[in-house]
Amino acid sequence: MNSFPPILCIGSVLWDVIGRSASHMRQGSDVPGRITRLPGGVAMNIAMTLARFGMTPTLLTAIGRDAEGDELVLACQRLGMNTDHIYRSEDLPTDRYMAVEGANGLIAAIADAHSLEAADAKILTPLEHGPLGTAAAPYDGLIALDGNLKLPLLNDIALSPAFARADLRVAPASPGKAERLSPFLTHARATLYVNLEEAGLLCQCEFSTASDAAKGLLDRGALRALVTDGGNPAAEGSADGIINLPPPEVLVTRVTGAGDTFMAAHIAAEAAGDDREAALNRALKAAATYVSGETPL
């Protein structure tokens, strides 16, 4: 029997098209490499890692009723996810994300999540009108929420009685969307997962360390914050104080999805009963394993 608590993953589930090269790249580079297409999106990346750690995530997202969408839903099911409550649109195509990575990291990326944004609040119907919950009987489990949703919808979620009892774990889709998380800065039940740049954007200032960033988020009213900083020490801050741990040193071969892996591994560690330091350490190890090209277990 699966002893883990249930968890909902709300946000982007799409196809990742990633071009990777072992060469250093700059604007205009034309180099050999590999191009892959895999299930992706913030909610999907989190769900995949949760499933690897033994949890059964339920997806709340929008996927088109096109051939790519049918293939994506089947892939989600094969990976151990519950797809019963996905909003399937007849007139919206399945979303896609495209990125180029070199030996020097992410070169450029474009996220086409227009269908998710167009579906808007329709993806939340199972939480607001059953069967997962209602305003009168709110869902009281874990929710992983990504910042690909539009700001008005994120505002609504922050204030909605349907989310009033949930353990919200929130992450931006990218630094460019970090400020969308502002409704959760003072939320009584939200944990923020951000990197150093995203923390600075949320607080409208610059931080030199993850620890400083975690303190800055707490000073702004955050309940709890986890801040990563690449190969530098990460921090977890709450009313119980701030802890710091360095990530393992590894050879970086990919970066897209590393933050999602960190977040999912941390959630799974806490769901398994790990304390603060053990959970942070497990999350850092999982992210390091991921960026080295291996599969976190």
Residues 115-136: tens digit of each pLDDT: 999 999 999 999 999 999 998 9
172 vs 224, higher pLDDT: 224
Mean pLDDT, the chain, whole residue set: 93
Q: Is the pLDDT of residue 1 over 80?
A: no
Q: Is the pLDDT of residue 204 over 90?
A: yes
Rounded CA-CA distance 90/76 in Å is 19
Confidence at residue 92, expressed as pLDDT on a 0 to 100 scale:
93
Q: pLDDT tens digits for 41-54?
A: 889 999 999 999 99
Confidence at residue 2, expressed as pLDDT on a 0 to 100 scale:
53
Q: Is the pLDDT of residue 255 over 80?
A: no
| Assigned token pair, 38 | 């895999």
What's the pLDDT band for 258 if we cut at 50, 70, 90?
A: confident
Number of neighbours of residue 140 by Cβ within 10 angstroms: 12
Number of neighbours of residue 83 by Cβ within 10 angstroms: 18
Q: Is the pLDDT of residue 105 over 80?
A: yes
Q: pLDDT tens digits for 184-200?
A: 999 999 999 999 999 99
Rounded CA-CA distance 99/194 in Å is 20
Average pLDDT rounded to a whole number, residues 63-80: 96
Confidence at residue 296, expressed as pLDDT on a 0 to 100 scale:
82
Confidence at residue 175, expressed as pLDDT on a 0 to 100 scale:
79
Q: pLDDT tens digits for 147-178?
A: 888 889 999 999 999 999 999 999 987 777 88
pTM: 0.90
H-helix segments, the chain:
42-52, 67-78, 114-119, 125-128, 151-159, 196-203, 210-219, 258-271, 276-291
On the 0-12 / 13-18 / 19+ scale of CB atoms within 10 A, 159 is exposed
Rounded CA-CA distance 40/62 in Å is 13
pLDDT above 90 as % of the chain: 80
2 vs 116, higher pLDDT: 116
Confidence at residue 295, expressed as pLDDT on a 0 to 100 scale:
81
Average pLDDT rounded to a whole number, residues 17-22: 93
Average pLDDT rounded to a whole number, residues 6-18: 95
Instruction: List Cα–Cα distances, 117 to 140, 153, 264, 267, 277, in angstroms.
Output: 25, 9, 23, 26, 36
